[in-house]
Structure 1
Amino acid sequence: MESDEMFHPSLAAALMKLDPEDGGKMLEYFQTHALLAREKALLQASVREQKKLLVENGKLKKDIEELRHQLGDKQRRRAAKSVLSPGEAADPAASPSRRVDLQMTGRQRGEKKAAPEALPPPPAPAVDVSRLDLRVGRIVGVRRHPRAATLTVHDVDVGEKAPRPVVSKRRPGDQPPLVGSLAVLLCNVKACKVRGAASRARLLRCFRSDGAAELLAPPAGSNPGDRVTFLNYPGEPDRELKAKQRVWDHVQPGLLVDAEGVANYKGCGFRVEGKGPCRAPSLTDGTIRCT
């Protein structure tokens, strides 16, 4: 009987004799409390054992980390020794201070190290029409310059978020271009102010020897922002033309209008890819300049 295992038989008999009706219940009550006390003692012992194990694990981790650092130091010292040749390791004169003295002695004798060969400078970019950022633009506004009667301010859409202001010189008798007409612009010139008005591009015009002039026209179907390219002169244009390099001054003499009115650079035509050549609307045998 379980009560006999938990309590002495004489105690069980005494409880039953004292209270025959409730002795069994009292015995069961004491037995339950005894079991709970035992389980509590076992649980406390388990917690103490876990804490003890945690402390021991922490100590082991610390010991392992120290051993790892010691092993790394030994490996580094061994690698440093292996760099020296057997003669240097055995010769006291091969110490770092001794080697510095020998180097200084060599310099005093006039010995010189061979200078590294200098790399050749990069080739200078070619000076041709490929350096120019020529684009199609649509004139969306024309107005007189507020401070100069001979200047006109154009607002030109070149495919960007906002139109570019372009200041152009107007000669007597010149008719300003109509709003909505297309033109060819040089777009990588440095932005500047002309008599107080901002100018961020230059218009290309065709000139004849008798003084007649008109805007260079892109082919039909062109859109603002279309690039004007040259088959014989591929390459990306400069981000901005530098004044000291005078790229435009070198290129401009080769910009011509032929006998059929087609614009070209040294015989290679101005073209908008997939649209056709650029041309003067009515002039022939002329030159092309910025205005």
Structure 2
Amino acid sequence: MDNADNLFNPSLAAALMKLDPEDGEQILEYFKTHALLTREKALLQASVREQKKLLVENSKLKKDIEELRLQLQEKQRRRTAKALLSPAPPPPTLSPAPTTPVSQTASPAGATAGVPTNRPPPSSSSHDQRERQSRRRRGERKARSTSDSLSLGEEPKVDVSRLDLRIGRILNVRRHPLAETMSIQEVDVGENAPRMVVSKLGGKTNLEELRGSLAVLLCNVKACKVRSVVSQARLLCCSSSDDCIELLAPPTGSAPGDRVTFLNYPGDPDRELQSKQKVWELLQPDLLVDCKGVANYKGCGFEVKGKGLCRAPSLTNCTIR
């Protein structure tokens, strides 16, 4: 209570005691306690203001540190880019060793007859020789890498997983104007625009029945002109003879764009089949319709996941082309 005692004048305390001898002591204690609480409140408010000030300064310091860190990263990035773009320093050129004539006065007569007094000048500089050797080594490395890539590409994987087979809906069909046995289909395969397909369905096929039906298409063949009409896919058919041709029928519930996959041959198809590799020609003999009418490759069925297998409408034991 020493601090509280200093807040009151002794005469004020004496006056309180004189006015109220019984309760003067309690009144005086009340005033002292109130004064201490007021002072502590003022100190607490000052401490809170100081804490807020420190928080603001701390936030500002964090922001400055983050900016400095970003500047340092940018400088390091520029320095690295400059080091990568700057040309490598040329190799040091070796100057030819100085030739010193052999003194004949300090040796016996005839002692230096077989020693040449001067070295012959080099036919080309050491720098040029090193450049030629470096170019030769680079050529050898390039040839080796090319031969390695060719050796790795000699036997690429050839199976049905390389074919991009999709379900399509025939939107329109008409006879080819330049070939009686060919027809032109406009097929939706789940892309932004339908594809034009030229196929040889035979002169006896009723083309009107094909409009609106689903079919299986090979979509990663290279687009090519067939009798002046660009064909962008291949329509898969099954046939037992030239006169008996049927389109493969997708399973019920299939939609344009659905992939046809093979359980035993997983993998992503080629972006585009290269004509030089003749992938389709190698695989086509193993694409068959079995005795149950199911389309398969080496016994593995054409499957639309979650929907079923592709089949021939009525043919069995026939080829797919």
TM-score (norm 2): 0.53
- Residue of 175, 180, 184 corresponding to 1:144: 175
Which residue in the other structure is 1:246 paired with? 278
Query: Residue 97 in 1 paired to residue 89 in 2?
Result: no
Structure 2 vs 1, CA of residues 97 and 280 (structure 1 numbering), >3 Å: closer, same or farther?
same
Partners of 1:211 and 1:154 in 2: CA distance: 19
Partners of 1:251 and 1:170 in 2: CA distance: 21
Whether contact under 8 Å (2:204, 2:243) holds in the other structure is no
Whether contact under 8 Å (2:164, 2:269) holds in the other structure is yes
Which residue in the other structure is 1:235 paired with? 267
3-state SS of the aligned residue for 1:243?
coil
Query: Residue 157 in 1 paired to residue 154 in 2?
Result: no
Partners of 2:315 and 2:263 in 1: CA distance: 24
Partners of 2:306 and 2:204 in 1: CA distance: 35
Which residue in the other structure is 1:255 paired with? 287
Whether contact under 8 Å (2:201, 2:245) holds in the other structure is no
RMSD (Å), alpha carbons: 3.1
Cα deviation, residue 200, structure 1: 0.7
Query: Residue 126 in 1 paired to residue 122 in 2?
Result: no
Cα deviation, residue 172, structure 1: 3.3
Give the number of the structure with larger relative contact order, counting CA–CA contacts within 8 Å between residues 6 or more apart.
1
Query: Residue 174 in 1 paired to residue 171 in 2?
Result: no
Which amino acid letter does the alignment assign opposite residue 196 of structure 2? Answer: P
Consecutive unaligned residues of structure 1, counting only runs of 5 or more, are 1-94
3-state SS of the aligned residue for 1:150?
strand
Partners of 1:135 and 1:236 in 2: CA distance: 13
Partners of 2:261 and 2:174 in 1: CA distance: 30
Percent of counterpart pairs with the same letter? 62
Aligned residues: 192
Cα deviation, residue 148, structure 1: 2.5
Which amino acid letter does the alignment assign opposite residue 279 of structure 1? Answer: R
Deviations 1:116-139 (A, max 9, x none): 794543354311111111110001
Partners of 1:143 and 1:212 in 2: CA distance: 19
Which residue in the other structure is 1:195 paired with? 227
Partners of 1:236 and 1:168 in 2: CA distance: 26
Partners of 1:257 and 1:99 in 2: CA distance: 81
Which residue in the other structure is 1:219 paired with? 251
Whether contact under 8 Å (2:202, 2:242) holds in the other structure is no
3-state SS of the aligned residue for 1:251?
helix
3-state SS of the aligned residue for 2:276?
helix
Cα deviation, residue 162, structure 1: 1.1
Which residue in the other structure is 1:37 paired with? none
Whether contact under 8 Å (2:182, 2:203) holds in the other structure is no
Deviations 1:22-46 (A, max 9, x none): xxxxxxxxxxxxxxxxxxxxxxxxx
Cα deviation, residue 249, structure 1: 0.6
Whether contact under 8 Å (2:191, 2:257) holds in the other structure is yes
Which residue in the other structure is 1:185 paired with? 217
Structure 2 vs 1, CA of residues 194 and 118 (structure 1 numbering), >3 Å: closer, same or farther?
closer
Deviation larger for 186-195 or 135-144: 186-195
Structure 2 vs 1, CA of residues 203 and 235 (structure 1 numbering), >3 Å: closer, same or farther?
same
Cα deviation, residue 225, structure 1: 0.7
Whether contact under 8 Å (2:171, 2:212) holds in the other structure is yes
Cα deviation, residue 149, structure 1: 2.3
Partners of 1:170 and 1:279 in 2: CA distance: 18
Cα deviation, residue 188, structure 1: 1.0
Partners of 2:199 and 2:96 in 1: CA distance: 73
Cα deviation, residue 278, structure 1: 0.7
Whether contact under 8 Å (2:180, 2:203) holds in the other structure is no
Partners of 2:318 and 2:96 in 1: CA distance: 77
Cα deviation, residue 219, structure 1: 0.7
